[in-house]
Amino acid sequence: MTKPLIDRLPPSFKTPMAKFVAGSILITGVIAMAFNHAAKQDPNIQEVSYSQFKKMVGEKSFTLIERQEDSESKQVTYVGRNGDSKVRVITRDFPDPALAMAAESAGAEVKSTVIETPAWWKGALLWFLPSVLFLGVLIAWQNNRDKKQAQAMGQAKGGTMTFGKSKAKLHEDVGARKTTFADVAGVDEAKNEVSELVEFLKNPEKFKKMGARLPRGLLMSGGPGLGKTLLAKAIAGEAKVPFYSIAGSDFVEMFVGVGAARVRDMFEQIRKQGRCILFIDEIDSMGRARGGANSNDERESTLNQMLVEMDGFDDNSAVLIIAATNRPDILDPALLRPGRFDRQVTLNLPDAKGRHQILKVHAKGKPIARNVRLGELAQELEGSSGADIANLLNEAALRAALRDSKDIQRADINYALEKIALGPARDMTVDPDDERCTAYHEAGHAITAYRLEKICHVRVNKVSVTPRGRALGVTWTVSDKDSPSKFKDNLQGHIAYLQGGRVAEIMKYQQPTTGASNDLERITDTARRMVMVFGMAKDLPARNYAPVSASGHHNPPMSSDMAARVESAINDFVNRGEEMAAKALEDNAVQLELMAEALLEYKTLEREDIVCIMEEKSLEKLKEIRARRDAEFMVSVAKEESQAVPVIPPNPNLWVSNNPV
Active site residues: 442
Give the three-state DSSP class for 76: strand
- Helix, strand and coil content of the chain, in percent to the nearest 5, comes to 55, 15, 35
Task: Give dist(CA 303, CA 8) in Å, integer.
Answer: 35
**Angle (nearest 5°) at CA 369 between 364 and 188:** 40
- Kind and range of the H or E run holding 236: helix 228-239
3-state secondary structure of 562: helix
- Angle between helices 589-602 and 432-451 in degrees, nearest 10: 130
35: which residues sit within 8 A by CB, 6+ positions away? Answer: none
Q: DSSP characters for 369-405?
A: -TT--HHHHHHH-TT--HHHHHHHHHHHHHHHHHTT-
Q: In whole angstroms, what is the distance from residue 258 CA to residue 75 CA?
A: 58
Containing 221, the helix (H) or strand (E) segment is strand 217-222
Distances (CA, A) of 56 to 61, 103, 390, 399: 6, 10, 93, 92
C-alpha–C-alpha distance, residues 632 and 636, integer Å = 6
Look at residue 585 and give its three-state secondary structure: helix
Give Dmax over CA atoms of the chain in angstroms: 130
Q: Quick one: residue 27, left, alpha or beta (phi over 0 = left, psi -120 to 50 = alpha)?
A: alpha
Which residues lie across from 408 on neighbouring strands? 368
Nearest to 180 by CA among 232, 244, 245: 232
Q: Count CA atoms within 13 Å of residue 473 on its CB side.
A: 28
Question: Where would I find the H helices in 558-654?
Answer: 560-587, 589-602, 607-616, 619-639
- Give the whole-angstrom CA distance, residue 6 versus residue 19: 11
In angstroms, rounded to a whole number, what is the distance separating the alpha carbons of residues 176 and 601? 57
d(CA 182, CA 191): 10
Question: Sign of dihedral through CA atoms 137, 138, 140, 145?
Answer: positive
Q: Strand 318-325 relative to strand 217-222: parallel, antiparallel, unpaired?
A: parallel
Contacts of 357 (CB under 8 A, 6+ apart): 185, 186, 350
